[in-house]
Amino acid sequence: MKGTSIKTVGILTSGGDAPGLNAAIRAMCIAGKNKYGMKFIGFRNGYRGLIDGDCFKMDELDIDALYNQGGTVLGTSRVKPFKNPVPDPKTGLLPVEGIKQTFKKYKLDALVCLGGNGTNTTASLLFEEGFNVIGMPKTIDKDIVGSDETFGFATAVDVATEGIEAIRTTARSHSRAMVVEIMGHKVGWLGLYSGVAANADVILLPEIPYDIKKIAKYLKQKKADGQNYFIIACSEGALNLEESKLSKKEFKKARAEMCQSVGYRVAKEIEAETGIETRTSVLGYTQRGGSPSASDILLATKLGVAAADFMANKNFGKLVAIQNGKIVGVPLESVAGKAKSIPADDTLLQTARDLGICFGD
């Protein structure tokens, strides 16, 4: 067993749940205990539990059984301690003061925050406040800056791809166009990967504003060439040319006023422009539910073990990330408040274009 002054570590999961969270927690707890003699305390429901001191000893759980469980054994929430903070009605403490009290009460030497952009932004702010914090890259969106991979993404791609393929049989049977709405408000990695994997005819992404006229022309030509059904993979954050010209505030207002999600709008537009009977299917939360794939279990396990090493070596203020196949520490301040969009020269995006897939541009 190696020596370290870091003995008591808090863990929390925040934001949307994703496959691989429990595998990462398991690996961290086992490696931390076996290599360094660390003890782990789990905080319930994200930063809410950290503020309130709502926690339990992780050794009360069957840690080894967590490797393939979906969701998060710790629970989660979207509480953000630094966003519009208000005093607790019972204690009168601001959130960050509550967190200080929790660190003191449970004698925490460090805290590990597993989550996406919002989670790691808060982790960065906590580090600036003087807390020993590290972050881990969890998200089905694959949009965390500084890490090539995020656990949860591979499983979500598998689920979304299977969903598109299941819908294909209905599209073919009824000679319809089917719009399959896929998660991804701000970035389209999930839509791109699953769309290519399932051989979609059209892929609509937040990064590429679409022109419905161009989509219609493309589909009508395919129909003239003898194709009788069509698959449109549509990210929930897809936008048209007109929307791309709106300010952030105007766009948010326009989306709030929509009666249905964008997938339904795209279906109506396609049917109106082409005369092809069109339906919409929203895959929804199935994409981030269920057990993690073997790929995500392996990734989460590697990162979980690395997190224990980061803490033992006091490598705080970092995101435990993957770059070019290697584990690296990325400063949280360089991750905070950012999202990794699909670049125009992305290899898979270019591959899709070379295959003749339409992006509406």
Catalytically active residues are: 141
Cα 213 to the center of its chain, rounded Å: 32
Q: How far is CA 90 from CA 86, 94, 156, 213, 231, in A?
A: 12, 11, 41, 58, 54
Distance CA 222, CA 208 (A): 22
Distance CA 133, CA 129 (A): 10
User: Is 25 in contact with 11 (CB distance < 8 Å)?
Assistant: yes
Interatomic CA distance for residues 211 and 109, integer angstroms: 54
Give the dihedral sign, CA 80/155/206/282: negative
Measured in degrees and rounded to the nearest 5, phi and psi for residue 288 equal -120, 15
Beta bridge partners of 181: 234, 282
Check the CA dihedral 325-312-317-79 and report its sign: positive
* Cα-based distances in Å from 290 to 137, 185, 293: 19, 21, 9
